[in-house]
Structure 1
Amino acid sequence: MNIFCIGRNYAKHARELGNEVPDQPILFSKPSHSLVITKGEEIFLPKNQGEIHHEIEIVLKIDKDVNEGDQVRDIVSEMALGIDLTLRDVQTELKEKGHPWLRAKGFKNSAIITPFWPFEGEEACKQTDFSFVINNEIIQKGNIQEMMFNFQAIIDECAKCFGLAKGDLIYTGTPDGVGPLQSGDQCKLYWGKEEKGAFIVR
């Protein structure tokens, strides 16, 4: 199982971090050991490495090996909400040195994910917002209509560059509103008005 991620797929998010808006998908990956499923439990994060930023995203699960020309509806079986965590201070330092982001993106528990549910289709997803709530306050809210690269474009790019196989996961990008998590934060992920997962930061 591989975990692929799309960077800067929402223009407002790219701009809030002072980054250029990309003209093609920015791709990176996370180790499988970074994945943790939300079950309302405590999730332990690294200490003393600077700020850890949250980025809520829709996650697609690939249901079969992907071939050129395959359509989203034929290869995505399930979806979830996820949090892509970033050691922001570490990432900034790595970027300044021209080094890869893996140390900032691939640490244990950096790919938080809710339980999956059946994929509703891209058009249906446009009718539903997703949001990240911290301590009962909505911090991030997005809709795939705001994405620069849609599900099909993302899948095509990942398949072309890396190949995609059954069980692979794709984090599809985050809207604006990212920021640091603090120990003790009570976090919830919503699809529309339905809570899909929750966790406590430790």
Structure 2
Amino acid sequence: MLTNICNVYCVGRNYKLHAEELGNAVPDEPMIFMKPSHAVVALNGEALELPASKGEVHYEAELVIRIGRDYEPGVRVDELVDAYAFGIDFTLRDVQTVIKKKGHPWTAAKGFRNSAPITAFQTFPGAAAMVEKDFALMKNGVQVQRGNISNMIFSLQDIVDYVGHHYGLGPGDVIFTGTPEGVGAANAGDVLELAWDGTVLGACTIKAAE
């Protein structure tokens, strides 16, 4: 587990094409769920154990922002966020399908151990600068996802304002900001790499675990 991580907020369905590929409606306000801090691990090239007995495990590549100060109404995202990274929101898709039908919380599908690997954090250059480059996920050397935060339904400012107002934000909190289209299954032996503007920042090899 990465240290100094407090609350882990996640934004669901924040890219229109991703919502559509899963047959979901596009939300009219940010859809927020949480992962335990124990789900967060370093995406540092090592093997990553994921459940093998609960159906398909899907990858969802995302920009992750870290909060550096307490949220106050009116604060700009560039003042609030001190660092960024990229992460994978691993999802037990078959489990999620069942619990969604039952109206149950998503924790069983989203909050398992190792479900939130993150690259090393880097100094946040501002929201405008983040739009200038794309992030991508490669699976076994083949690009499977590519995203730019300009395509998010809710901007970084929208997200921090919503989370800060409804739940609170403070130093050490992180936010997974949503995934673009192209999600799919990760299987034992797969090598996943997260890149920013063509430079690989983190990787892992999937290992099956019960």
The answer to whether 1:19 aligns with 2:24 is yes
Match of 1:103 in 2: 108
Match of 1:148 in 2: 153
Match of 1:34 in 2: 39
What TM-score do the two structures reach when normalised by structure 2? 0.95
Select the residue among 83, 88, 93 that pairs with 1:83: 88
d(CA) in 1 for partners of 2:177, 2:125 = 15
d(CA) in 1 for partners of 2:52, 2:140 = 21
Match of 2:10 in 1: 5
Q: CA deviation at 1:77?
A: 0.6
d(CA) in 2 for partners of 1:123, 1:74 = 13
d(CA) in 2 for partners of 1:194, 1:182 = 24
d(CA) in 1 for partners of 2:153, 2:50 = 30
Q: CA deviation at 1:161?
A: 1.1
- Number of equivalenced pairs: 202
**Letter paired with 1:87:** L
What TM-score do the two structures reach when normalised by structure 1? 0.99
Select the residue among 61, 66, 79 that pairs with 2:66: 61
d(CA) in 1 for partners of 2:173, 2:22 = 28
d(CA) in 2 for partners of 1:87, 1:165 = 29
Q: SS state of the match for residue 48, structure 1? A: coil
What whole-Å deviation, never above 9, does each CA across 1:92-144 have from its counterpart, x for those lacking one? 00001111111000000001100001112111111100000010000000001
For structure 1, the residue ranges without an aligned partner over 5 or more in a row are none
Match of 1:189 in 2: 194
Identity of aligned residues (%): 48
Q: Where does structure 1 differ by over 6 angstroms across 4 or more consecutive aligned residues?
A: none
d(CA) in 1 for partners of 2:94, 2:155 = 29
For structure 2, the residue ranges without an aligned partner over 5 or more in a row are 1-5
